[in-house]
Amino acid sequence: MIRDITIGQYYPADSVIHKLDPRVKLAGTIIFIVSLFLFSSFTGYIVVALFLGTVIKLSKVPFKFIVKGLRAVFILLMFTVVFNMFLTPGKELVHFFGNIRITEEGLRVAVFMGIRLILLIIGSSLLTLTTSPNQLTDGMEKGLSVFKKIGLPVHEIAMMMSIALRFIPILLEETDKIMKAQSARGADFETGGFIKKAKALIPILVPLFVSAFRRAIDLAMAMEARCYHGGEGRTKMKPLKYKKRDSMAYFTCFAYVGIIIAVNIIANKFIGV
């Protein structure tokens, strides 16, 4: 399951999505995430799913590889669905012992929440899968450059976020190696109750934290050796410049927003589903 987490990983491919300016992909991801919370109908989510499917097709990233990331959050997804199903008041459909019951509104909210989380995870993963850490840093810094006027350390924030994303797959790989090493020494992470499983994590967390701090120190020393002192006065090897395909991508995002707003109005007023 550790290897199934796709957020933070980069999948190299020769696609139009990979070639887009990182600022376009960041803006498109934000627009996509916001659009997920505008719908309360199945019709709207169909439009969102079709748009996301088209982007995945253009990215040339295997759909199986993207969906693989859902396995790591399956438990969180199930908790969210179950809690919404049983704790939302409304018209009763099924009654269990005590006050436990499934309502029509709870079932509807649970289904919508499950779909929303799945689309959110897939859409967010697509950003890092099609954008290298360096491009992501440059895109964040350039996109947030307007906040420099109020004294916000934009370059440092973008660098920290990029390093954090870059370290996700590294730490996951390190965790997988430690678990295999501890299992070879006789450690058991599967059997027993909650307390026993929690104690079994100590032989994993201790070496993982030691490794993470060691990597952080090595990275800090490497940055100091290269005379890194923040973003002041630094130049870019590959300055970001908008191209025709980026303008088309922005136009597509605005058209997508217009379509989802129109679909949402029509679904609420006329269809009601």
pLDDT in single tens digits along all 273 residues of the chain: 555 566 667 888 889 999 999 989 999 999 998 888 877 677 778 888 899 999 999 999 888 888 776 776 777 778 777 777 777 777 777 777 667 777 777 788 888 888 888 888 888 888 888 988 778 888 888 877 777 778 777 878 888 877 887 787 788 788 888 888 888 887 777 777 767 777 777 888 888 888 888 888 998 898 888 887 776 667 777 778 888 999 999 999 989 888 888 887 777 676 554
3-state secondary structure of 39: coil
As to burial, measured by CB atoms within 10 angstroms (0-12 exposed, 13-18 middle, 19+ buried), residue 259 is middle
As to burial, measured by CB atoms within 10 angstroms (0-12 exposed, 13-18 middle, 19+ buried), residue 260 is buried
Pairing of strands 92-95, 101-103: antiparallel
| Cβ 56 vs Cβ 66: under 8 Å | yes
Instruction: Quote the CA–CA distance of 162 and 134 in Å, as a whole number.
Output: 8
Please give the full DSSP string across 61-127, using - where no structure is assigned. Answer: --HHHHHGGGGGGHHHHHHHHHHHHHH--SSEEEE-STT-EEEHHHHHHHHHHHHHHHHHHHHHHHH
Cα 37 to the chain's mean position, in Å?
16
User: What is the residue whose two structure tokens read 């099924």?
Assistant: 94
Residue 249: predicted pLDDT: 92
207 is written with which tokens? 């070496």
Residue 103: predicted pLDDT: 78
